[in-house]
Amino acid sequence: MADLRTNFAGIDSPNPFWLASGPPTNTYGQVAKAFDQGWGGAVWKTIGEPIINVFSRYGAVDLGQNRMMGFNNIELISDRPIADNLKEIAEVKRNYPKHAVIASLMVESKREAWHEMVKQTEDTGADGIELNFGCPHGMSERGMGSAVGQVPDYTCQIVEWVKEVATIPVIVKLTPNVTDITYIARAAVKGGADALSLINTINSIVGVDLTTFEPQPSVAGKSSHGGYCGPAVKPIALHLVSAVAGDPVVKIPISGIGGIASWRDAAEFIALGAGTLQVCTAVMHYGFRIVEDLIGGHRTIADIRGRALPKVTKWEELDLNYHLLAHIDQDKCIKCELCWTACEDGAHQAIRRVPRNNGGPVVEIIEEACVGCNLCAAVCPVQDCITMRQVPNDYAPVTWKEYAAGKGKLAPRSEQFHTATWGTRA
């Protein structure tokens, strides 16, 4: 059996796979069931003054036959009394003492209000507190959620208030709805945060009914922007996690959130610096059982944590003399010509069509025109039919920064495309 025990900012859990704050962590029954099925921790659905939700709350974006590629919600924080939530948190912690139980909090921006809520929360025995500074809809209109998380000074100030009374770790949940997330991360660190979690949901309208012209999800003919999540946001989340994890000022643990649905997704977040993983949308889609895949795909976490982070760099540091060339395995080619269409109309006109005869090739790479952009491999419906192969050369690596400063030399192939006139090589 793999040993996946995790210590995150002083919080112990049997594995790094936690439920994110949301509908799956709304009650004792849900969290207890999740722990029974193998989840290592749970962040309770955000607690604050109870609100009234609308009945139509969720919308989705499908991709072909794949449902819920992207998911949108206009649901607010818990609509249950604070006392009921705190009572159930205490009950979960008593019955599952080895699991991580985190209380997510959202309170009006008053020092006394935060002090009171933190003290009440600590009385439950919760392992930590997550400050919800990321909710982009509804609560932000009341001066909470992302209305706090989008302003560094507000973020820092409230974290300071919380840390004045908190004796358990404080995690700050960051909104992606900012120009540069590292400014907010640094503000949380300045305020005394013990850890960060990201990303919260992204502002969105997922669609419009073209019969009624109602944005979705519709509430009596109208709607509002909501929070976007699910597999579609994973690339954004990976980027922002890497930006925060690689920031030299931050240096505190990170809990990764955003489109995690498989052990591979989780591993990518870990490789970019995450210490724990939080999952919500995938559970809403497939149920708590997905934790079996998350756990089964890992033997250890330490071996991959942060391994990809040193390989994330600025564009100006990339090697201009690293050359790729597309290669078509004609034995696997089904002659659909999608690669030709994509390259001809959408890229670099580096594939030619060949007259169909005797079952031979119908498309070929024009090697002198191929820039190794990967588009043909991306659109090809046959696995490994088109692969990208490195073209060796004797020239030393050179970055744009070095080349612009006259400190490096481009290989002939790089020079060819640097000086070429587009539209003349088709």
> Looking at the domain that runs over 315-419, which CATH code has it been given?
3.30.70.20
Say if strands 202-204 and 226-229 run parallel, antiparallel, or are unpaired: antiparallel
Percent helix, strand, coil in the chain (nearest 5)?
A: 35, 20, 45
Record the tokens describing residue 152, joined without a space. 């560094």
Buried b (16+ CB within 10 A) or exposed e, 94-105: eebeebbbbbbb
**pLDDT at position 141, please?**
65
CATH class (in words) of the domain with range 6-311? alpha beta
Q: Which residue among the candidates 135, 229, 280, 370 is catalytic per the annotation?
A: 135
For residues 76 and 55, what is the distance between their CA atoms, to the nearest angstrom? 11
**What is the per-residue pLDDT for 420?**
59
Predicted local distance difference test score (pLDDT) of residue 145: 67
From CA 135, how far away is CA 120, in angstroms rounded?
Answer: 22
Residue type, 149: G
Within the chain, all domains assigned CATH 3.20.20.70 are found at 6-311
Residuewise pLDDT in 10s, the chain (426 residues): 688 999 999 999 999 999 999 999 999 999 999 999 999 999 999 999 888 899 999 999 999 999 999 999 999 899 999 999 999 999 999 999 999 999 999 998 999 999 999 999 999 999 999 999 977 765 666 666 677 889 999 999 999 999 999 999 999 999 999 999 999 999 999 999 999 999 999 999 999 999 999 999 999 998 999 999 999 999 999 999 999 999 999 999 999 999 999 999 999 999 999 999 999 999 999 999 999 999 999 988 989 999 999 999 999 999 999 999 999 999 999 999 999 999 999 999 999 999 877 777 899 999 999 999 999 999 999 999 999 999 999 999 999 999 999 999 999 988 888 775 444 443
Sign of CA dihedral 312, 317, 321, 324: positive
Annotation marks residue 135 as catalytic: yes
CATH 3.30.70.20 positions along the chain are: 315-419
> According to the model, what pLDDT value does residue 146 have?
75
Contact 274, 256 (CB under 8 A): yes
Measured from the Cβ of residue 135, the count of other Cβ atoms closer than 10 Å reads 26
Query: Which H/E stretch holds residue 214?
Result: strand 214-215
> CA-CA distance, 421 to 176, in Å (whole number)?
39
